[in-house]
Amino acid sequence: MNRNLKLVTISLFIWGVGEGMFLLFQPIYLLKLGADPIAIGAILGGMGFMTTISQIPSGYLSDRFGPRPLMWFSWIWGTISAFLMALAGSLELFIVALLLFGFTGSVLAPMNAYITSERGNWSAERSLTFTSAAYHLGAVLGPTIGGFIGQQYDLRILYFISAFIFVISTIFVLFIKKPQIEIHHDIETSNNIFKNAAFMRIALLGFIALFFMVFTQNFATVFLTDLRQINLQQIGYLGTIGSIGNVVLALTLGHLPSKIGYLISFPFSILFPLLILNGKGFFGYGVGFFAFGGYRLARSMLLAMSREFIHGKDTGLAYGVIETTNGLAIIIAPFLCGIVYNQNPQSIFWISIIGLGIVAMINLILLPKQKNWEI
């Protein structure tokens, strides 16, 4: 691992600590500020919208001007937004700050393009899953700390602490150097990735899969606190277990070919809604949160898989498209989930379970065959 990738990895680890402190408690905090379940779904969907609209433009700009300036901008923007969330004293102001924080997601396509270009002798799968694991290793600490502080004091203080942690993370990423220029072999592919049938099929199938994977994510904590009498400290522990699952699955399965790793993510993802709904006590819920690492694995494997079907010079744009599909899932899923939850909380889990089972079979049949190009 070269110097640049080390700095990005350390920065992501620190960011994971800060973001992990409040991200899991966001729906609960919105509930305390006066939002109802439908409003929470709409707000979180709005945050996803801010992330989504930035993906393709940021990926294009990354290919045009390089990923480093966009990474710097996103880290700084996220830090400022975190301070604004901490200072917001009302639901309206917090929503504005939260939406601004969602724009931080514009970093995903440039960052993943940077990681891919700086991977050295590693495969794209390994570099993407390893750096993702670093973020989630930091997030192992965040939820437990956040749950303790939130239980003893107030959830609002978490945003102040996180903002200062983000400052440290930003300092590390400001020291990265320009990425190396990769030499790509000629690839038989369309010059326009939007006319590339194999790539667009991956993007569409990925969107459907990610939609059902994240469908219950935001309301799982609300369900557990409202209907299963799980307190904030225990929610924090579950978040930590979930982050451990992200790390373990990324490190143990990240070496697999992307298509295989992606398909393996489905049974893990199904376990999350199944065990949140039917788990027997904290242990069952913990196994469910651990299994949610299948969603993170799926995201990394989709990126690596898509890269095999596009030209190297389009990496940033292609990653932007894939992250847009994830963003669309994050926009639509919580809003629809909030509507269903408001009518029947248990139904959201069955929708996710059945949907994932069907989509897994569709992906198994329709995913394009990998060509194993050397890029």
| Three-state SS letters, 125-146 | HHHHHHHHHHHHHHHHHHHHHH
Asked whether 243 and 139 are in contact (CB, 8 A), the reply is: yes
pLDDT tens for the chain, 375 residues long, are 788 889 999 999 999 999 988 887 888 888 888 888 888 888 888 887 888 888 888 888 888 888 999 999 999 999 999 999 999 888 999 999 999 998 888 788 899 889 988 887 788 788 888 898 899 888 888 887 888 887 777 888 899 999 999 999 999 999 999 876 554 444 444 457 888 889 999 999 999 999 999 999 888 988 998 888 888 788 888 888 988 898 899 889 988 889 999 999 999 999 999 999 998 889 999 999 999 999 989 988 998 898 888 877 788 888 889 988 888 888 888 889 989 998 999 999 999 999 999 999 999 999 987 654 333
347-361 residues labelled b (16+ CB within 10 A) or e (exposed): ebbebbbebbeebbe
DSSP state of 89: -
Query: By C-alpha distance, which of 155, 157, 108 is closest to 135?
Result: 108
**pLDDT for the residue 375:** 35
The two three-digit tokens of residue 89, written as one number: 């004293």
The angle, 0 to 180 degrees and rounded to 10, between the axes of the packed helices 232-253 and 3-22 is 150
**Distance set, CA 253 to CA 6, 257, 295 (Å):** 21, 9, 13
CATH tag, 3-175+208-366: 1.20.1250.20
Asked whether 228 and 236 are in contact (CB, 8 A), the reply is: no
Q: Which residues contact 260 (CB under 8 A, 6 or more apart)?
A: none
Asked whether 24 and 146 are in contact (CB, 8 A), the reply is: yes
Three-class secondary structure of residue 115 per DSSP: helix
Query: By C-alpha distance, which of 371, 321, 300 is closest to 124?
Result: 300
> What does the DSSP assignment read for 178-209?
PPPPPP-------SSGGG-HHHHHHHHHHHHH
Q: Which residues contact 263 (CB under 8 A, 6 or more apart)?
A: 360, 363, 364, 367
**pLDDT for the residue 175:** 94
**pLDDT for the residue 190:** 44
The two three-digit tokens of residue 156, written as one number: 């609002």
**pLDDT for the residue 191:** 54
> What does the DSSP assignment read for 337-374?
HHHHHHH-TTHHHHHHHHHHHHHHHHHHHHSPPP----
